Structure 1
Amino acid sequence: MQLKIFMATVNAKHDTVRFYIEKNLLTPDKVAGKYVFTSQDVANYEEIMQLKKLGFSIETIRKIKQQHILNCSTTEQWQQNLALVENNINLAEQELKRIEQQKEALIKVSKQLESLLARQH
């Protein structure tokens, strides 16, 4: 399928598709200077989107895909993917802690402002 059809199929913008091609996460064939996408490219794009929703970086997605190519359905692939997933869990926990601290600071400021406003009345 041509680029426009692929973009419509996966609901993506041209720049997004180009970005994933440049990052070598999508590897469509080129025929007469134009990209030709297959149903496998659609599946690859959907996998990239799922991994992004899980919070994986482009570099980590690249590692996951590389492991799939080199060690598909092996213990080694699963162990390496598990390590990547556990790392992302740790990063998410750190981010949650940071957000909770930010929330607490905002609540404190909110209470201070409410107190000041109450004194005005």
Structure 2
Amino acid sequence: MYIGEFIQTFETTRETVRYYIEEGLLTPTKVNGKYFFEDIDRSDFKNIRELRDMGLSIRVLKQIKKNKKDCGSTMQWKSNLQIINDELERVEKELEILTRQKKTLEIISNQLQLALD
């Protein structure tokens, strides 16, 4: 399928697809100067979406794709495990920051509510 049908099928934008191509995450072939997406491209796009929905960055997706050449190997699993553990650590730090922000906002909210009462 060509890019127009691809973006309709996946309800995405041309800019998003082109960005993923530029970043090397999608590698469609060119037919008569137009991108042609095969089953592997559709599968890759679904995987990209799932990983992005988990909050993974483009940098991390590139690492995972690079590991794909060793698909099913212990080396790939160890590398992906490290990537996921690093992401878990990043998310934990973000949660700590958000928890502190929430507590501060709750205190201010309570103080304002008391001032209004």
TM-score by length of 2: 0.97
What does residue 105 of structure 1 align with? 104
Structure 1 runs of 4+ off > 6 angstroms?
A: none
Corresponding residue for residue 81 of structure 2 = 82
Q: What displacement does 1:5 show?
A: 0.7
Using the alignment, how far apart are the partners of 2:26 and 2:38 within structure 1? 11
Is 1:41 aligned to residue 41 of structure 2? Answer: yes
- Superposition CA RMSD, Å: 0.7
Counterparts of 1:5-24 in structure 2, within 5 Å, are 5-24=5-24
Equivalent pairs, count: 117
Matched, 1:50 2:50: yes
Output the amino acid matched with 2:11.
N
SS in 2 for 1:35: strand
Unaligned runs of 5+ in 2: none
- Counterpart residue number, 1:28: 28
Identity %: 37
The one-letter amino acid paired with 2:64 is I
